[in-house]
Amino acid sequence: CKSAPAQEEMARKRVRVPVPTEKYPDYNFVGRLLGPRGATLKKLEQDTGCRILIRGKGSVRKEREAEVVGKPGWEHVFTDPLHVIIESSSTDAHAQKALNRAKEAIELLLVPVPDDQDSLKRHQLRELAIINGTFRDKDVTSRASTTNTSPISLDAYDMDPEQSPKFPHSKSLPRSTIGLDFSESFFRSKSFALEDHWLTDDQESVLITSNEVHFSTCRE
């Protein structure tokens, strides 16, 4: 019996995005990608429909490396440079579009931004305070907006190259905005309930699965 014409085959596509650790060895890319308790990456997965994984050297905290030495599937922690894997399990017509959207957002997060111009970091710190129960409006009025949306936008980083390092190709990327809803209700909602196996220490939380460092709301 043939499948109905309306049914489309699922296609898994993936793209690998390098993290520029050699150029910026002291920059905390993993913390920036994750956000407070993994919220930034988790929300990117929700918004793009892609599965996102951080792999390679530095994807696992130092104290965890001894636990994965010699385990199948964990070789990348010791052999590969730090990178991000983006996967899309969507229909043929939408898989590439979803990948492109997620790749664009990840590349934005991998552009170092001066602290005094880094609106995303301010939002992450604000939401970390909300999670920890230490948030006070008066503590952040001079440092962060009190809006509920933290946008990742190419326009936000369109500044003088002397002020903010860029990837050579960043200006050629299409201009678009991916809005990340980091409202307090998001963190308090069931959709953000943290499981016991989340390893949390401020912005550097990781979820360990059987064979990879995995940040995903998509379940196969």
> Which is higher by pLDDT, 103 or 11?
103
Rounded mean pLDDT of the chain? 65
The pLDDT, as a whole number, for residue 82 is 94
Q: What is the pLDDT of residues 164-201, one digit of tens each?
A: 333 333 333 333 334 444 444 433 433 333 332 233 33
Stretch 151-174: mean pLDDT: 34
Rg (C-alpha) for the chain, rounded Å, is 18
Quote the CA–CA distance of 105 and 153 in Å, as a whole number: 8
> Which is higher by pLDDT, 18 or 77?
18
Among residues 29, 163, 164, 138, the alpha carbon closest in space to that of 84 is found at 29
The pLDDT, as a whole number, for residue 81 is 92
| Structural domains present in the chain | 10-215 (3.30.1370.10)
- Of 87-101, 104-118, 172-186, minimum mean pLDDT range: 172-186
Query: Rounded to 5 degrees, what are φ and ψ at 199?
Result: -95, 110
Q: Residue 92, SS3? A: helix
Q: What is the pLDDT of residues 44-57, one digit of tens each?
A: 999 999 999 999 99
pLDDT at 75 over 90: no
Quote the CA–CA distance of 51 and 14 in Å, as a whole number: 9
Stretch 104-118: mean pLDDT: 86
Structure tokens at 189: 């909602």
